[in-house]
Homo-oligomer: A and B are copies of this chain.
Amino acid sequence: MSSDHQPLDEMPSPMPVALSKYSKRVLLKTILDRPDGGLGLLDQRVVVGGWVKSSREVRKDPPPPTTQPPAAVGGDHTKEHTGGKDVKCVEVFQSRIPFLRTIIKVFGGNTGHTKEKLESIFPKQPPPSISFLQISDGSSVISLQIMVDSSIAPSTLLMPTGTCILAEGVLQKPSLQGKHTIELKAEKLLHIGIVDQDNYPLSKKSLPLARLRDCAHFRPRTTTVASVMRVRNALNHASHTFFQNQGFVHVEVPILTATETEGLSKKFKIFTVSGKEVKREEPVSMDDTADISLETVKLSIIEKSKKIEELKRSDSNKEALDAAVHDLHKTNALAAELEARSKSKSKSKSESHKKTESFKTYDEFFTNRAFLTTSGSLHLESCASALGNVYALGPRFHVDKSDSKKYLPERWMIETEIAFAELEDVMNCAEDFLKFVSHSVSENCYENLYFLSKRVDKTLIDRLQSMTSASFEKITYDTAVEVLNKVTDKTFETKIQWGVALTEEHESYLVDEFYKKPVIIHDHPKELKPFNVRLNDDGKTVASFDVIVPKVGALIRGSQKEERLNHLTKRIKELGLRKDQYEWYLDLRKQGTVKHSGFSVTFDVMVLFATGLNDVRDVIPFPRQHGKLHN
C-alpha cells in the first residue's frame, strides 16, 4: 500500500461521500450499495440525480409528515402516483384547497421553460404537501427516496414516473415507514426534467417486455432492462478480462468484407448513398446467375454437349447420362434468360443514361463487392498464425431468419483462435471461459441477478453458480446419438440417426435430463460443420465441438481448423466453393502452417443465459428486429 494514502481507521468521520468524477453528483450506488445501505452516511450533504420510478404525496397539514407513518395518513391525504392520467390528484387540489400563488424554487440551469409550463397548468398554488420520490440513476438496482417539500417544487411537477431530478440535500433516516434504509431531504432542486404523462410509455407498473421493445429509447429506465444492461456490461468486461489475463491479443475484424466467409451464410450487400446520385448495382450471391456472362454460359453448353456425347459413347450408367442431359437443359434455359435480360438491359440503358452513370460512381468507391461479415473466424486464423492467441468481440451479420428469439440479423460475437492448440486445448479454454464469466458476473452483479431471479427466472442464480462448479461432460457426437437412440420415454420431433444435426430438443434432453450438467459434444460428421474444420483420421468426422448449456442450448461452437493444405483444398472443391475467394486463406497453409483451434460465443445468447430472459430482443441495448429495425 502506498504511504501517501491515509489508513482507513485514521480517516475523519463521517467520511465525505465520493463524487461521481465527471458529473458533480454522487452516484446512487455509492450510497445504496454499501453494506449498511447508506446508514453510515447520515447527515451528509450530497447532490444526487435520477429519474422518478414511483412517488407518493403526503398532505402536510394537519398531520406533520416527518413523524407520521403512512398507516396513519388518511386515504385522501396520500396519493400513490401510478403514471396514468393523474386526474384524481388534480381534482383533489381544485376542490378542497384554497388557491394560493405558485412559489417554485428551482435553482441553476435554464429553467424558464419549466416555470412557464408550470404556471400555465397551475395558475394558483396547490396545498402544502410533501412528495416522496423513488429515484434511480441507473447505477444501482435500489432506488433512493427523496423527500421534497411543496415549497421547493409542487408535487404534481415532480411525481410523474420518468421525471428527471437533480437534488441537493441531506441524508436522513426515512420519514415514512417502508423498505428504505435512508432518504434524502431535498433542500434545492438543481434541475427538473418534466414528463408529459399522456405520451410517456412507462409507469410505476411494470409493462410486458414485448411492449417495452416499442419504446427502446426509454426502456433502460425500467429496473428489469437496466439490470439486464448492467449484467450485459459485466459479461462484456469479464470476457475481455478472461482473454487479457491469458495473454490474448484483441483484434478488430473488418465488418466490410469482400470474402464470402465460410460459404454457408447469406450476406448483406453494401451500397453507398451519395448526395445526389442514386446508386444501384445488381448484388449477387454465390449461386446467383446475374454476374455470369452469356459467353461463359454458351461455352459451358458446348462443353456439356461434348460430355453427353462422351457418356453416350462410353459404358457409363443411365443415371449419369440423365443427369448430364438434365444439366444441359438447365444451362440452355439459363442462356435464354441471360440473353433476354441483356437485351432488356441495353434497352433501358439507352433510355435512362443516368443509371449507367451511377453504376460508375458506385464502382469508384469499392473495386470489389462489399458484404457485411458473418464471421471473423478466417481473419482471426490469419492473426493467430502470427500473434499466437487472439480474440475478437464485435458485431456479425446474418440474413438468416430462423429462430428469431435467439438470433438477430445483427449479433455480437466473441471469437477466439489459438495457435498450436488442438481440439482438447480449445475445449478446455471454452469451459474455463464460461466458468470465469459465470463466476465474475455472480460476484460483481449479485444485486442485479437477485432482482432478475425474483422478477424473471428463479433458477438463475443456481444456474450460474452450478456453471462455475460443475465439470462439463465431454461426449462425442457418436455417443450423443447412441444416448438419444436409447430414449424410450420420449419422442423427438426430429428422429435421431447418425448424420443428423442435433436439434434443441435433443440438446435439452442431454443437458437437462440425462447428464444434468453442461455437455460438450465433439467430433461431428463433417457434413454438419464448415469446410475448414479439421478432418479426423476416420475420414467421416471432424474435430469440432459444441458447448451445450442449460436454458439456451448451444452457446459456444468451436473446432480445430484444417491446417493441411491438401485436405483443405479437397474440402473446398467437394463443397463447390469458389477457390479464388480463398487464395489468401490457403496461403496460410502454404506458408508456415500451424495447428490451431478456436471457438465462437454468441454474446447475445450468453446474456440470455445469465439473465434468464427468453428473447434476445430484450437483452440488447436497442431492439434490432427481423423485418423491422428499431425506431
Q: List residues of A whose CB falls within 8 A of some B CB.
A: 20-25, 27, 29, 49, 51-52, 109-110, 113, 137-139, 162-164, 166, 191, 193-196, 199-200, 216-221, 226, 229-230, 232-233, 236-237, 240, 244, 246-247, 249-259, 266-276, 278-280, 282-285, 287-288, 290, 344, 347-348, 351-352, 364-368, 370-372, 379, 382-383, 385-389, 394-395, 397, 399, 401, 409-410, 412, 418-421, 425-426, 428-429, 432, 563-566, 583-585, 587-588, 590-595, 620-622, 624, 626-631
Contact = CB atoms under 8 A, between A and B. Distances in A.
A193 B587 CA distance: 12
27 contacts: A20-B420, A22-B425, A24-B420, A51-B385, A51-B592, A109-B595, A113-B566, A138-B387, A139-B389, A162-B592, A195-B591, A217-B385, A217-B585, A217-B587, A220-B386, A233-B250, A254-B624, A256-B624, A258-B629, A258-B631, A259-B631, A275-B285, A278-B283, A344-B351, A366-B628, A368-B628, A382-B622
Nearest to A367: B628
A348 B344 CA distance: 9
Contacts of A196: 590-591
A279 B283 contact: yes
Given A249-B229, A272-B269, A387-B226, A365 B420 contact: no
A242 to B, nearest CB: 11
A269 B283 CA distance: 12
A195 B565 CA distance: 12
A343 to B, nearest CB: 11
Contacts of A622: 253-254, 379, 382
Closest 10 CB pairs of A and B: A138-B387, A220-B386, A193-B593, A164-B592, A138-B388, A22-B429, A217-B382, A23-B421, A221-B386, A23-B420
B273 A371 contact: yes
A27 B245 CA distance: 13
**What's the number of copies of this chain in the assembled complex?**
2
Contact of A274 (B163, B257, B266): B266
A440 B503 CA distance: 47
Contact of A348 (B352, B590, B620): B352
Contacts of A621: 251-254, 379, 383
Nearest to A590: B196
Nearest to A369: B629
Contacts of A162: 591-592
A585 to B, nearest CB: 8
A153 B556 CA distance: 39
A367 B627 CA distance: 5
A220 B383 contact: yes
A410 B256 contact: yes
Contacts of A113: 564-566
Contacts of A52: 592
A315 to B, nearest CB: 31
Contacts of A631: 258-259, 368, 583-584
B270 A594 contact: no
B273 A284 contact: yes
A233 to B, nearest CB: 4
Nearest to A563: B193
A629 B249 contact: no
Nearest to A259: B631
A219 to B, nearest CB: 8
A351 B594 CA distance: 55
Contacts of A137: 388, 419
For A196, A371, A388, A629, which residue has the most chain B Cβ atoms within 10 angstroms?
Answer: A388
Given A138-B387, A629-B258, A22 B252 contact: no
A211 to B, nearest CB: 16
B266 A395 contact: no
Nearest to A245: B21
B288 A420 contact: no
A120 to B, nearest CB: 14
Given A22-B425, A27-B247, A220-B386, 7 more contacts: A166-B594, A217-B587, A258-B631, A266-B273, A268-B271, A275-B287, A367-B629
A395 B412 CA distance: 12
A366 B629 contact: yes
A280 B278 contact: no
A287 B51 CA distance: 37
A263 B266 CA distance: 30
A191 B594 contact: yes
Contacts of A272: 266, 268-269, 399
A254 B566 contact: no
Nearest to A246: B21
Nearest to A290: B278
A23 to B, nearest CB: 4
A156 B234 CA distance: 51
Given A195-B591, A622-B379, A624-B256, A389 B20 contact: yes
